[in-house]
Amino acid sequence: MHILLMGPPGAGKGTQAVRLVKQYNIPQISTGDMFRAAVKEQTPLGIEAKKYMDAGQLVPDSVTVGIVRERLSKDDCKAGFILDGFPRTTAQAVALDAILKDIGISLTAVVNLNVPSDELVKRISERARLENRDDDKPETVQKRLTVYEESTKPLIDYYRNSGLYVEINGLQDMEAVYHDIVKALEK
């Protein structure tokens, strides 16, 4: 199962991905996690990515596409994966299509967690208090939501007509969201 998990910052993608990993025994591929690890390790990629992340901006495609291509080409992704946090732009979606074609993989489903902006701000503020993530600081949150609206939300139209697109009500409790995702995947 090759799943693309979409939604705005704070929608619960990471939370749901962890559960889906256990359910289907496939890896979660999170560009956010890959970038945060690179920042923590202060790799050249991490140092470059941190500048953009701290400003609430998207890391440039040249960096992101390369790291995703490398990861999806690994053996553990052949049977399936949950891709979380990529693509974030239509250009990245086109690049993802090319990567998947090159490695002979097709997406099984595109799952979008739909959550209104006011709820997202509330969730991210709470997460910032609990996890102390730099990209959840108040000054960065609104920028991330604006970037999502401008750059990532158009992907809904890109995938809607693919026959793979499923929208999930992300306002429900975590268990109900999970149940709806699994139900959609197993149709």
* Set 127, 129, 153, 187: catalytic member: 127
Distance CA 1, CA 77 (A): 9
Catalytic residue check, 143 = no
Longest dimension (CA), the chain: 43
* Set 13, 50, 71, 123: catalytic member: 13
Report the binding-site residues for AMP. Answer: 31, 36, 57-59, 85-88, 92, 133, 144
Report the binding-site residues. Answer: 10-15, 31, 36, 57-59, 85-88, 92, 127, 133, 144, 172
Taking alpha carbons only, the member of 74, 69, 100, 79 closest to residue 162 is: 100
Element (H, E) at 166: strand 165-169
Taking alpha carbons only, the member of 170, 3, 168 closest to residue 79 is: 3
Catalytic residue check, 13 = yes
Report the binding-site residues for ATP. Answer: 10-15, 127, 172
CB 110 within 8 A of CB 6: yes
* Set 19, 69, 133, 143: catalytic member: 133
Catalytic residue check, 123 = no
Catalytic residue check, 160 = no
CA 12 to chain CA centroid, nearest Å = 10
Classify residue 58 by its DSSP letter. Answer: P
Catalytic residue check, 144 = yes
Could you list the active site residues? 13, 88, 127, 133, 144
